[in-house]
Structure 1
Amino acid sequence: MWQKSINLWLEVRHSLVALAVFLNGLLIFKTVWGMSINLVELFHIQSFSGINWANIANGPWFILGIFLMINAFGLLYRARTAWAVSIVLLLITLVYTMHFYPNLSFSISLCLATLIGLLLLGKDFNRSSATAGGIFAFISFTMLLFYSTYGALYFGDGFHPAIDNLMTAFYFSIVTMTTVGYGDIIPMTEPARLFTVSIIFAGITVFATSLTTVFGPIIRGGLNKLVKGSQQNMNRNDHFIVCGMSILAISTVAQLKQRGLEVTMIIGRPEEEFPLIEQRLGSKCDIISGDSTDNAVLSKAGLDNCRALLALSDDDATNAFIVLSAKELSAEAKTVLAVNDSKNMNRVKQVKADIVLSPQLFGSEILASVLSGEPLDNDKLISMLLNSGHGLFDKT
């Protein structure tokens, strides 16, 4: 029962953090709606020049709540960008609430607890699909631009010269988000200064991350073509696909390469680190940067023509998802799955990989056999090591 509780916690803890971020956004809505303002009129704008922005109180805070709720959905998919942006937004929310509404003790406590949870579980948010990251980065940048432009109009009287039109507000937002800061518009009041600081922190995270996510791959691809020239696609056939960067994965690739076998590695590291990985392997290797659970990445690695796919990452859940993705893409694909924690063996077996390997369990059984004086032969060793390996290397 205790082990089931632990496994359940490991599976849902990222969802609980996402829910906490979502609740922070809802609390902002609840607080704002409890004040004497008409939020419905916020989006019924006919003419910017004729608006008295002081009548629409707490508008930037309201938009911040929307931003938090959008980021919560990104956290459900363990997006790294959503994790980083959520931390910055929660810091802004915490400072804003403590300064202007110190009596909201529950909101402050929840915000602080959510921040601590995000920081402690940072390793859980490690997914960075290029397509999903680009879409999320675009949404984040758009929301931040709307937040900063509207906030500049709302706090317009607190600047010198005062910001009283949309174009000036847009200009100030871009200049501040990019940390250029020409100094032609200066925040004079305390609220205006705090708002400017929030744009700077959010801009460094969202604006820079958005540009890197969207344009980074394009620039890197262009530079690689310029430096390395056009390269032909690898002929991936009758090879092994190794997923992960664990010690077991590196050692397995090195041993396969020593035996003259073709290997393709799938790792979640940038291409800049490939030389270091090849240095660890001691030889050149066909490496793909991407998510091993992504069908497009598995197809690129040549799953249909491989001899076997080896899921050898440090995380048992990730290994199980890799095998499931491979089986979904190609039911005939042979799969090998490593179990890092022997407690997960029974659960992982349900994935029905062709070979389930547990180095931890294998080592403990060998040690116990040696210490108890039991004889060890090849058949017994293979029986300990593999739960089923029949037909893996059979050729039709």
Structure 2
Amino acid sequence: MIHVIGLAVGVSIKAMAFIAVFDGFVLSIFGFLMKEKTKTAWWIMVSGSFITVLILAFGAGRHYHITILGMAFSFFVIFMLIRRRREYVYPARILGRPEVAIALVTIAFTILYGIGGSLLFGDQFRPPITDLGNAFYYTGEVITTLGFGDILPVTMDAKIFTISLAFLGVAIFFSSITALILPSVERRLGGLVNRMEKRELKTLKDYVLVCGFSNLLQEYLSKMKATGTVVVVIERDEAKARSLRDEGYIVFDHNADDIDLLSSFDFSSAREIIIGSDDDAYNLIIAAAMKSVISDENRQKVRVLVVDPKDMVKFRIMGFSLINVSSVLSDSLYAGRNAPG
């Protein structure tokens, strides 16, 4: 939005140059995010590149050859993005969440409320706010609580508007910004914690490793933890991983078939290894990865949950101990039926 505002108020060439630097910084960040191949990143980059062309066109000065070079590069970026548009098919991890959409709407509303109110009560400020640029400047000044004092409300209406905008800025605007930034920070910190924990995996002794979690394992793992056994879980579902971490388990929110991660473990020090998701197809992939990294002497420690009895034959070639969940349940029900009393 800063680009459009700058064009609307006819800012100077120097100001346009500064905006161009800011624009380049923002595009660099989104360029880094392009590796996730999301639709949102694609649209932002295309739109940002077009805006860059406009900024360069309106800010052209004596160094027109640099402007032409920048515009040519922007058009090249647009051309490449359009040419490879079919690669960007994944949904946005952050922008796709409803709370983030609400946060974006809140931020937009707060900015528009500030700009609109500043122009509406423009003659009640000293000096008066008569253009879009000063309205945007005053809105940012109030929302960020900087309070330079170069523009002052002099009537009660203007003062009430300023206070309401300040409340919006502190109570809503920054909380919305937090909702946008916090998930990314949490993922980065989570990755850092995982890297730190991976370095300590070689020091684990007599631990239980769970590759893929299902509720079928909940009671068993609780008993293991109650006896003081260290339980390490690799779980790709973020909600499950977060819940397990809160319960005191060492959790890696990662795919359990990641060979690099599995190679970080000292399996000779493990008490047992359980491949235990409720998806046989996923368990089969995990078992194949495990077979490629575990030694023959440690292979007997691996136990695999098999949900569908028809899949037993697929797992036998791995050489691991298999637990037929359906058979265990059937035996338990049958034993209960024939129990005395």
- Which range, TM-score by smaller chain? 0.3 to 0.5
